[in-house]
Amino acid sequence: MRTRIKGAIGLLVVMALMGAACSKSTPNAGGGSPSPSASGLTKDPAIAAEVPASIVAKGSVTVAVDPSYAPNEFFGPDNKTIVGWDPELGDALGTVMGIKFNAVQAGFDGIIPGLSSGKYDIGMSSFTDNKEREQTVDMVTYFSAGTSFYVITNGGPTIGTLDDLCGHSVAVEKGTTQLADATAQSKKCTDAGKSAVAVSAFPDQNGANLALSSGRAEVGMADSPVAAYQVKLSNGQFKLSGQPYGVAPYGIAIPRPAGSAPGTGPMTKPILDALNKLISDGVYLQILTKWGVQAGAITNAVINGAVG
């Protein structure tokens, strides 16, 4: 959920890249376990036949990704290649459908508009599937995550719920559900006669992490697997606070013709069927387990499965 900060991007981001190089073996990072396609995964002719002729002719789809959300999607050690379990799952989906998934860097809040304009074919970047997004694009669910709070280990506030944010400064990424939640909570705080939440929104998650580590914010908010990963990489600087809230599905964002009914995107059914094949074959869980995020695994993908 998140454009890359160039130049000096702070200790935490450097640690994230080091952690990717040292503790995460990905096909793109070199070494480690083979990719699903190298493990025997092949094209499924029936599912490949569902892919629109225009996509078959191109042989690939352009997949918009905001690579600042480790371990879901981020830059590998070469600082160019997009790695993480999201792009790895995308590669597997492409193999099943007989097309290549080309991941390209995009700002998180520009991905869905880019799908509508035809700039991108697919958005696969830790999108929460919600009713608002379903009005514009189709969503194929593929993971389950909540939002977690994380704070400085020494002297950070105790945050258990959104209500505890009153009077505190919070760092989030633009375009995320966390920004919406923190902003809405600030109004609830002032309506109740309490101090507002000082919400700072950054172009990507790296900026939000840096704000917390530098003391410009007291609380960070991110999807539960991302928050846990940042805490793990911080060498004790950060800790999780409270339990995740608002558990909801992630969705692969797929454009559909303007004015058409939900679920009618040309690529929606092939992606749905490819994903459910990966789930039934065990490849899906293999990928998630490799990245340590198997707790968010689902057992059946659906179209437009927003909750609430």
pLDDT digits (tens, 9 = 90+) for 68-123: 899 999 999 999 999 999 999 999 999 999 999 999 999 999 999 999 999 999 99
pTM of the model: 0.78
List strand residue ranges (DSSP E) for the chain, in order: 60-65, 68-69, 73-75, 82-83, 100-105, 122-123, 137-152, 169-173, 198-202, 219-223, 238-255
What is the C-alpha separation between 80 and 75, in angstroms, rounded?
6
Neighbours of 43 (CB within 10 A): 15
What is the C-alpha separation between 31 and 87, in angstroms, rounded?
17
Joined tokens for residue 212? 């917390």
Would you state the pLDDT for residue 242?
A: 94
Could you say which DSSP state residue 80 is in?
S
Question: Which domains does the chain show, CATH number per domain?
Answer: 11-145+248-296 (3.40.190.10), 146-246 (3.40.190.10)
The total number of residues written for the chain in this structure: 308
Neighbours of 140 (CB within 10 A): 31
Confidence of residue 307 (pLDDT cuts 50, 70, 90): confident
- Cβ–Cβ < 8 Å for 221, 172: yes
Joined tokens for residue 146? 């909540």
Helix (H, G, I), strand (E, B) or coil at 136: coil
What is the arithmetic mean of pLDDT over 158-176?
96
Helix (H, G, I), strand (E, B) or coil at 266: coil
Least confident of 37-41, 73-77, 83-87, 283-287: 37-41
Q: How far is CA 149 from the centre of its chain?
A: 16
Confidence of residue 308 (pLDDT cuts 50, 70, 90): low
Is the per-residue pLDDT at 27 higher than 50?
no
Q: What percent of the chain has pLDDT over 90?
A: 82
Joined tokens for residue 251? 């969705």
Give the torsion through C-alpha atoms of 48, 52, 55, 57, to 10 deg.
90
The rounded mean pLDDT for the chain is 88
